[in-house]
Amino acid sequence: MNTMLRRPEELSVVDTAKRVLPGGGFGNVSHDVVVARGKGSRVWDLSGNEYIDYLMGSGPMIVGHSHPEVVAAVQAQVADGMTFFANNQHAILLAEAIVEAVKCAQQVRFVSTGSEADLYAMRVARAYKKRDKILKFEGGYHGMSDFSLMSLAPKRSTNFPQPLPDSAGIPKSLKDEMLVAPYNDLEIVRSIVREHKSELAGIIVEPFQRLIPPKPGFLEGLRKIADDNGLVLIFDEVVTGFRFAYGGAQAYYGVTPDLCTLGKAIGGGFALAAIAGRAEIMAHFDKGKVGEDDFVLQIGTLSGNPVAAVAGLKTLEILKRPGSYEKIFATGRALMEGYRRILKDTRVPAQVVGDAPMFDLCFTDKQVVDYRTAMGDAGKQKRYNTLFRERGILKSESKHYISLAHDERDVAETLAAFESTMKVMAAEMRR
């Protein structure tokens, strides 16, 4: 067991964070570990404690921290310039790589964050269809825009398709522009589309929603509903792009959207994301093709940043090599199978939910098919995360990201830490 001693230097930095940052942090993970460095599958905090990292920067570090080839590419570019606010060769080549890899992508527009990508994907869908409403799914995460923060994590249940804002400061008028359905329920989607067809521009969905896989036929059903009703189907692949397969979740599940958004992996640890899709829709970013009235304005200081682009290009090159995805899936499956065995042995009431590249526990006995069935015991989830971290495993509140850098040693040490954690939880639950 890692005792996680905290040095005065780290505690001082934590105190400073509490003074100068709202909530003492950046709004991301809730714990107060201050990470100092990362290498491969591991990170070290300011106190020198070592962690096996399944947070992986919330997903971008899919080839591992400080991969030497990525570092070399970035260092070479930094010496030649850090940003230009003009076309650069590396970002153009990255766009070409995305078009070659991702089936729906005929053209690409770069932004800096997944939040921006999702916002612009919805905006360009509205411009293309000349309709205002977008259908999303309860619990689906599409960034931090006002439109996206509808029923991401609603604190109470509402009747579908009524959305519930997730944040203060969102104008009440925007509620009327978003419709919400339960994930994996085609019948409710059909009903909502029938009622709102004349004002609905498109459907945005995570093809693999947080940890929840699509039911067989669900994504195919969304494709048919979109086709039958003249809607734009948007896959939010900020997380799943280049993670489930080189062509993303659309390749993994065999369903092609009209637009997709990408992030995380394509920036190699730097701020870069993209909207990609059919040329006739993407043309709305080109005033010369669609004219003033149909033009979607998009400007970003760091869009297509060359440092991020070279990191992304090198990351994709590494992922494309033979055996890369086989290794990621083998690692994830070994952990998932080990967790299930330990949960059965310790009789802790939890289940492993997700797929090999991305999964975690849900402390519920329900079959997890949507946001509401995934809502387990939050207290047990928090306790599990705390105990796991004390044993040298770093992860988000509700997700493991598996990287190419994780290996058999990581699996063995993680399973030992997981077994120790579950034995403590089992003993606590018996009291």
* pLDDT tens-digit readout, 298-333: 999 999 999 999 999 999 999 999 999 999 999 999
- 2 within domain boundaries: no
* Residue 232, pLDDT score: 98
Residue 178 · residue 165 · CB < 8 Å: no
| 189 and 307 fall within a common domain | yes
pLDDT-derived band at 293, boundaries 50, 70, 90: very high
Domain edge (last residue) among 287, 304, 320: 320
- The answer to whether residue 17 is domain-embedded is yes
Nearest to 126 by CA among 91, 178, 170: 178
Has residue 269 been placed in a domain?
yes
CATH number at residue 265: 3.40.640.10
Which pTM was predicted?
0.96
Are both 173 and 315 inside the same structural domain?
yes
141 is catalytic: yes
**Domains in the chain: how many in total?**
2
Catalytic residue among 185, 236, 258, 370: 236
Q: Is residue 3 part of a domain?
A: no
Query: What pLDDT, on the 0 to 100 scale, is given for residue 30?
Result: 77
Catalytic entry in 51, 120, 128, 141: 141
- Residues 31, 112 share a domain: no
Amino acid 3: pLDDT: 63
pLDDT of residue 267: 97
In this structure, the answer to whether residues 270 and 152 fall within a common structural domain is yes
Instruction: State residue 107's pLDDT score.
Output: 98
For 397, the domain range is 8-66+323-430
Residue 134 has pLDDT above 90, yes or no: yes
Residues 130 and 75 in one domain: yes
Q: 161 and 54: one domain?
A: no
Last residue of some domain: 290, 320, 350?
320
To which residue do tokens 């093709």 refer? 289
Confidence of residue 158 (pLDDT cuts 50, 70, 90): confident
Instruction: Find out whether the peptide bond into 161 is cis, omega within 30 degrees of 0.
Output: yes
Helix, strand, or coil (residue 325): helix
Q: Is residue 314 part of a domain?
A: yes
**Who's near 370: CB < 8 A, 6+ residues apart?**
137, 138, 139, 182, 183, 184, 185, 209, 212
- CB-facing half-sphere around the CA of 198: CA atoms within 13 A: 1
Does residue 43 sit in the same domain as residue 122?
no
The predicted structure's pLDDT at residue 335: 98
On whether residue 418 sits in a domain, the answer given is yes
pLDDT per residue over 375-396, tens digit each? 999 999 999 999 999 999 999 9
Q: What is the largest CA-CA distance in the chain?
A: 70
Active site residue 264: yes
**CATH number reported for the structural domain that contains residue 12 in this entry:** 3.90.1150.10
Going by pLDDT thresholds of 50, 70 and 90, the confidence category of residue 155 is confident
Question: From the candidates 45, 136, 252, 264, which is the catalytic residue?
Answer: 264
| Residue 35 sits in the same domain as residue 95 | no
Question: Both 314 and 386 in a single domain?
Answer: no
- Asked if residue 1 is part of any domain, the answer here is no
Same domain, 138 and 200: yes
395 occurs within a structural domain? yes
* Same-domain check for residues 80 and 142: yes
Among 272, 294, 320, give the residue marking a domain's end.
320
| Res 278: pLDDT | 98
Same domain assignment for residues 277 and 190: yes
Percent of the chain past pLDDT 70, that is, above it, reads 99
Q: Which long-range contacts (CB under 8 A, 24 or more apart) does 50-53 make?
A: 50/2, 50/392, 51/389, 51/392, 51/393, 51/394, 52/392, 52/393, 52/394, 52/406, 52/410, 52/413, 52/414, 52/417, 53/394
336 token code pair: 């998932």
Active site includes 325?
no
